[in-house]
Amino acid sequence: MATIRDVAKKAGVSVTTVSRALNGYSDVNEKTREKIKMIAQELNYSPSLLARSLVMKKTKTIGLLVSGLRIEGSKDNFTFEVLCGVNDCAGELGYELVLISTDSKKQQEKTYNQLCKERKVEGVILQGIKTDDPYLDEVLKSDIPCILIDIPIESDSVGYVTTNNKDGAQTAVEHLLNLGHKHIAMINGHSQAFVSRERLAGYQAALMKKNIPFNESYVVNGAFLEDTAERETAKLLKAHPEISALFCASDLMAMGAIRAAKKMGKTLPKELSIVGFDNIILSAYSTPSLSTIAQDRYKLGFEATKLLTNLLEGKEVEKNKVLQTTFIKRESSIENHG
């Protein structure tokens, strides 16, 4: 592997000159520069980012820290689409991307700070972390710039990007109300998720606007899992046969709900309307296809990266961004003639 010294030697100049020539400094003779460039190419030289980073104390690297990068994530693709957004934005802005994935086992070995400092990432984007995760405390105490996805906490070095979950949920439930549904239940995620709390608030807000009292037994947790949602939906529908519509806090859980309803012999969407949240790929292919609140996961990643690099470059801008949702009407929600 050719180093800067090889180039210097062959060109008959000092390494300093090579460095300056290749980095586009103006105080170098154009002829010398051309010669050096030629030789560099000849030698197939490319500078060691390692050495450069060491001396410049800048790595131009950001980390995407994912808690639980698991294949199960295939079903909703959340992580993958965020990753695509981060990757694209980082690429545009000239940042390298390293993937840091942890799980509870790994977390006991290495602290958040160690993980980040070792790899010399200048900043981090955090995705898939629960609000009760011990890493979250570390993030707030650490001085490493960080953007949280879907956890609205802000400090000097911490910002966030999230979706307007309350609004989205409210839109979903209002849609069902406008279709004439009176008994609308909700399959929520779990209480350790910020988004679940927000979506619940949206559900409640929609009911309140129509003066429908909030019935606690109409809300169950499906843990964002298809199977759990299926079980919980089955229980719920058995206990409350009057329910004519369901708002699910994720499309994946809606898939579980659809299965539960079908197994009970219900005809969809005639006997039960369902609206999901996320707009995952599956939602367009299920039978019936799923009405849902679309959130832009790619943009979540893209904007997170933008915010992070702003933070890194000391720009004085907002440290948070809230994205809007879009309602997508498909087959699973129809008028109620109860």
Partner DNA sequence: TTGAAAGCGCTAACAT
Partner DNA sequence: ATGTTAGCGCTTTCAA
Nearer residue to a copy of itself within complex by CB, 164 or 289: 289
Which of 14-22, 93-101, 123-131, 152-160 is the region at the interface with DNA (rule: CB under 7 A)? Answer: 14-22
Question: Looking at 96, 174, 227, 331, which residue binds a copy of itself (CB under 8 A)?
Answer: 96
Query: Considering the complex, what minimum distance in angstroms separates the CB of residue 170 from a copy of itself?
Result: 27
Instruction: Pick out residues in 172-211 that bind a copy of itself (CB under 8 A).
Output: none
For residue 46, state whether it binds a copy of itself (rule: CB under 8 A).
yes
Out of 14, 16, 23, 48, the only residue in the binding site for a copy of itself (CB under 8 A) is 48
Mask 20-39, x = binds DNA (CB under 7 A)? x-xx--xxxxx-x-------
Residue 110 CB, shortest distance to DNA, in Å, is 15
Binder to a copy of itself among 5, 117, 238, 263 (CB under 8 A)? 117
Residues 44-63 that bind DNA (CB under 7 A): 45, 47-48, 51-52, 54-57
SS (H, E, C) the chain: CCCHHHHHHHHCCCHHHHHHHHCCCCCCCHHHHHHHHHHHHHCCCCCCHHHHHHHHCCCCEEEEEEECCCHHHHHCCHHHHHHHHHHHHHHHHCCEEEEEEECHHHHHHCCHHHHHHHCCCCEEEEECCCCCCHHHHHHHHCCCCEEEECCCCCCCCEEEEEECHHHHHHHHHHHHHHCCCCCEEEEECCCCCHHHHHHHHHHHHHHHHCCCCCCHHHEEECCCCHHHHHHHHHHHHHHCCCCCEEEECCHHHHHHHHHHHHHCCCCCCCCCEEEEEECCHHHHCCCCCCEEEECCHHHHHHHHHHHHHHHHCCCCCCCEEEECCEEECCCCCCCCCC
The one among 12, 25, 42, 70 contacting a copy of itself by CB under 8 A: 70
Under rule CB under 8 A, which residues in 5-44 are in contact with a copy of itself?
A: 44
Is 16 a binding residue for DNA by CB under 7 A? The answer is yes
- Interface residues with a copy of itself (CB under 8 A) are 1, 44, 46-51, 53-54, 59, 69-71, 73-75, 77, 79-81, 83-85, 87, 91, 96-99, 101, 106, 113-114, 117-120, 255, 281-282, 285-287, 298
- Interface residues with DNA (CB under 7 A) are 1, 3-5, 12-17, 19-20, 22-23, 26-30, 32, 45, 47-48, 51-52, 54-57
